[in-house]
Amino acid sequence: MLGNAPIRQVAGDLPRRWMADDYFDLYVWYQEDGPIYGFQLAYDKGGHERAITWRFDGSITHSLVDTGEDKPTANRTPVLRPGGIPPWAEIQDQFEQRSIQLDPEIRELVLDILARGSATGA
Measure the CA angle with vertex 83, ends 82 and 88; round to 5°: 145
Residue 45: CB atoms within 10 Å: 15
Sheet with 60-66: strands ordered across: 3-5, 16-20, 24-30, 36-43, 50-55, 60-66, 79-82
pLDDT reported for residue 23: 97
Residue 73, pLDDT > 70, answer no
Would the pLDDT of 67 be above 80? no
For 100, phi then psi, to 5°, come to -50, -40
**Domain parsing of the chain, residue ranges:** 3-120
pLDDT in tens, 21-52: 999 999 999 998 889 999 999 999 988 999 99
